[in-house]
């Protein structure tokens, strides 16, 4: 999964799509009923060592939203193989979800890079492209079908949860432009969390990743994530905002835990 975040967001390395998925869903917590601009920053670390920094910006005007973000590697990773990335999603705010109309992501790590663009209509994928493509596909590749791209969420705004909905348990059907998976959230109690702009109780959810399509069946890293039952996401509710969004995530790996933590949340 070094160059594919098809398990949306939880790969075991510094690549862009994992931190972007976790970080971007943390920041889009500004009031949704008025024209607003909102900025949040994040840190990504492995076993306590810095891996990357991410910044995200959201703008909301009436019932339309735009989310954009950047990520840059840090620490030793930046010296060994510089990683940069950009992502953007726009869409319409409806009663229960932020429904994307356009989603894009691009990243570069060393000499390798990739760009993904997805168009949605009413929760269904109408167009998806990836450059460069995977060609040829391996024999153990599980293809994405038209059925897999119905009633899905993008990996950024799709991970925000309205306050009137259950945070966990919950199942989020994600399509990131290449892979289709379910993110299953289960309740694990509450904790206290403090960062710039927020201090208070947060909801702790366990995470299970269920790959559906767009991945190599039997691949070791995919199977590792599929079996892993100790991942967590902590959801917080910003003051005056009717949306829950993560402020912290932890993904154990064989060489230490990857953590994504909000260093600035809604201030």
- Residue 30 scores a pLDDT above 50: no
| The residue count for the chain | 267
Q: What angle is formed at CA 171 by the lines to CA 241 and CA 115, rounded to 5 degrees?
A: 85
CB 179: neighbour CB atoms within 10 A?
Answer: 24
Specify whether the CB–CB gap between 66 and 89 falls below 8 A.
yes
Could you read off the pLDDT of 172-193 as tens digits, one per residue?
A: 999 999 999 999 999 999 999 9
Residue 169: asked if its preceding bond is cis (omega within 30°), the reply is yes
Could you read off the pLDDT of 210-246 as tens digits, one per residue?
A: 999 999 998 888 898 899 999 999 998 866 556 788 8
Q: What is the DSSP letter of 239?
A: T
Q: What is the DSSP letter of 149?
A: G
Q: Which helix (H) or strand (E) holds 75?
A: helix 75-80
Query: How many Å apart are CA 44 and CA 139, to the nearest integer?
Result: 34
Could you read off the pLDDT of 63-104 as tens digits, one per residue?
A: 788 888 899 888 867 767 788 999 999 998 777 777 899 999
Specify whether the CB–CB gap between 170 and 163 falls below 8 A.
no
pTM above 0.85, yes or no: no
Q: Ramachandran region of residue 25, left (φ > 0), alpha (ψ -120 to 50) or beta?
A: alpha
């Amino acid at each position: 999964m070094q160059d594919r975040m098809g398990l949306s967001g939880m790969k075991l390395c510094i690549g862009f799509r994992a931190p972007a998925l976790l970080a971007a869903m943390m920041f889009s917590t500004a009031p949704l009923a008025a024209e607003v601009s909102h900025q949040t920053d994040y840190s990504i670390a492995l076993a306590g060592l810095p891996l990357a920094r991410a910044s995200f910006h959201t703008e909301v005007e009436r019932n339309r939203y735009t989310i954009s973000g950047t990520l840059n590697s840090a620490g030793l990773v930046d010296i060994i193989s510089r990683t940069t990335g950009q992502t953007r999603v726009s869409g319409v705010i409806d009663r229960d979800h932020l429904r994307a109309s356009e989603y894009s992501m691009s990243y570069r790590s060393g000499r390798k890079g990739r760009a993904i663009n997805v168009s949605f209509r009413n929760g269904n994928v109408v167009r998806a492209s990836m450059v460069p493509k995977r060609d040829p596909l391996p024999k153990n590749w599980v293809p994405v079908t038209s059925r897999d791209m119905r009633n899905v969420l993008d990996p950024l705004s799709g991970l925000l949860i309205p306050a009137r909905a259950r945070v966990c348990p919950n199942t989020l059907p994600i399509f990131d432009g290449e892979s289709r998976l379910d993110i299953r959230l289960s309740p694990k109690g509450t904790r206290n969390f403090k960062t710039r702009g927020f201090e208070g109780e947060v909801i702790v959810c366990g995470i299970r990743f269920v790959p559906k399509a767009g991945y190599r069946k039997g691949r070791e890293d995919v199977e590792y994530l599929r079996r892993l039952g100790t991942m967590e996401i902590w959801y917080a509710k910003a003051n005056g905002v009717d949306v829950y969004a993560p402020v912290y995530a932890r993904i154990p790996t064989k060489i230490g835990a990857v953590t994504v933590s909000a260093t600035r949340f809604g201030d």
